[in-house]
Amino acid sequence: MVYATRGLVESCLRFARESDPDPVTISLSVTPAEELLGADLPPETPVFTHFYYPDSAGSVNFVFGVDMGTPVGQTQGRFVSHPNGELRVRQRDDFKELIFVAVPPWDEESVAVFDRGGERQPLELLDVEPPEEFPE
């Protein structure tokens, strides 16, 4: 089972809707369930809670081809939109441990999660808030 906050999925879908007809790719990270108030899961269960804005450091990415907006090795998933309606992982998708794929009409029913092998994984959305983060 893959767990994600409803707010995270709704935010990703909003990015996809606003980018349509262009695809969008967003890095996703997890928080252990023990850090989420109201999550009725084993403490070590990873829950997708945060994203890294897809246009962060865009000009640097354009020049150097390096994603400067996402901390190296700190994301466990990726959200990709397929405006053409293909609810599957494609070879050109940017692979991570888990890939969230969304298609029009950009609602919760049009999102699926796949592993690196392209196998669909069950997704459960949680109505919990991620912990607030403050820069150090």
Q: What is the mean pLDDT of residues 50-67?
A: 54
Per-residue model confidence (pLDDT) at position 97 = 83
Per-residue model confidence (pLDDT) at position 95 = 66
50 close to 130: Cβ distance less than 8 angstroms: yes
99: nearest Cα among 109, 89, 91:
89
Q: What is the mean pLDDT of residues 101-129?
A: 94
The pLDDT tens digits of the residues spanning 15-44 come to: 999 999 999 999 999 999 999 988 899 999
Query: Which domains does the chain carry?
Result: 2-57+71-126 (3.40.140.10)
Predicted TM-score (pTM) of the model is: 0.82
Note the helical H segments in the chain.
6-19, 58-64
